[in-house]
Every structure is written in C-alpha cells, then in structure tokens.
Amino acid sequence: MPCPTPRGGAILDLSFGLGLVEAVRDHALTSSDFSATDLAIDMLYLVEAKSAAMEASRTLNRRLRGAMLAAEERAFTDPLTGLRNRRAMTRAMTDLLRRGASFAVMHVDLDFFKQVNDTLGHGAGDRVLAGVAALMLELTRQDDTVARIGGDEFVIIVAGLTDRARLSELADRLIARLEAPNAFGPEGADPQVRISASIGIALQAPGRGAHRGAEDLLEASDIALYAAKRAGRGRFAFHGGSSGPEGGDRRASAEDVGKTGGGSAR
C-alpha cells in the first residue's frame, strides 16, 4: 500500500495477522494474492503442518485405544467358546458384590464329557464345548455372565435373581437341553453324543448371610455342585438348601456337604 510523504513516501505491506486462516478460507485466497515478501505463506504452511500433525495424533490415539480394547477383550475371553473366562467372571462377581446386588452363581460341570474325548477325540470334545456355550447363551439373558472357567466347567452369574423356583426352572431346562441328543461328532460321522450336567447354585442377597467375596461364592457353588454329583449326576443343588421331592426331581441337598467337605470325582 503506497503511502506518499513530503520526503518521497513509503510502501506499507499489510497482512491479515491472526485472521489469516479465516481470510484464506472465506475469500478463497491463493499464493498469488500475497506479495513475495509476505510471510503469510510460511504461516499457512505451519498451520497446515500443525493440523496434519494433530490429525495424525488423533488417528494414532484411536488406533491405540482400539488395540487396547481388543487386547482387553482377548484377556477376558475364552478363545475356544467365546465366553467370558475365569478372570472376567471374578471381575463381574466382584463388581456385583461391590454394588450390593442380588445374584445367583450357577456352577456347571459336564457329566460324561471325558467319554466324548476318549471315544471321539478332542476335536469332537471342542465342538461339544462350543455347542454347550451357545446353548447357555441362548438360555440366559444379556445381563447375565456366562463363563468357561476350566476344561468342562462353566459358571453362570444370574444377575438380580435369587428366587429358587425360577433358578430351579433354569437349571432343569439347561440339564434337559444338554441331555437331548446332539450331533457333535467328527466330520463325516453321525454319532449321537450324550452328555449331561451337574449344577451347584449359590445365592447372594444383601442381608441374607452375605459371602465375603467372589472366591467364597464360587466355593459355595462348588460344594453344591459336588452334592449334585453325589446324588447321581444330571441334577442341581442349592448351597445350604433342602432336598426336593422324591422321585424324578433333579434337586439334591448340599447342606451336609457344606459340613463334611469331600466329594466324588467328576
């Protein structure tokens, strides 16, 4: 901008200053709109470089966050069945205990599973476990936690439910579905794999003999599980519960087992 003065004048080079980026965007300016001595182009380059660096940083953070979530998911997932593992089960149970919630712990152990591995091989055994996992997910709710904690051992944490009648119905239905003939044989064969399950159930409700922690609840459900095993397998038992009616009822008492300990082999 020419500025004539009595002594000859001067040329004043004006710039947008802090409003440069907005001016370029609003008026679609290009490099030809600036003088060769204007540092605006250099400033624009620095702004673009900063924006690119920030976007790269955000992208990297998203990738790192995704990788962290994926690693955490793998750490809490059983690779064979896709269920939660023992670590995830303990965390879920501890969280429920911390919140003072009511829930039931169903400790499930497959009966006659060893014969599947011995007669049909471990590949068939893996398919049985995957099928059992799918069945458990089908019979439980989204808020429940289904975990595989050992070879053929599973734990179902039934959130917000301690009613024995409803839990008995769930256990009965699960055992009946597992005992139904299922084709879990190897490829090209059609053997009818027959398995069953024994289930031990422990209850947790505020003000009703609360257990000390997750391991105590798991031990209580395991005691009930051994009672069901001793009663003939294909049954369920409540920890500290009373015997059910005589006859075909699947219930068994865990009351005496809690005092004497022990148990038969699975």
Task: Find, among 149, 151, 175, 179, the residue nearest to 237 by Cα.
Answer: 175
| Dihedral sign of CA atoms 107, 108, 111, 114 in order | negative
What three-state secondary structure class fits 205?
Answer: coil
Tell me the β-bridge partners of 200.
107, 237
CA 143/CA 166 separation, integer angstroms = 16
Which residues face 153 on adjacent strands?
109
Please report which helix (H) or strand (E) contains residue 170, including its range: helix 164-179
Residues belonging to the chain: 266
- What are all long-range contacts of 75-82, with beta carbons under 8 Å and residues at least 24 apart? 78/133, 78/147, 78/148, 80/126, 80/129, 80/130, 80/148, 81/129, 81/130, 81/132, 81/133, 81/148, 82/133
Active site residues: 152
Please give the structure tokens belonging to residue 30.
Answer: 């290009």
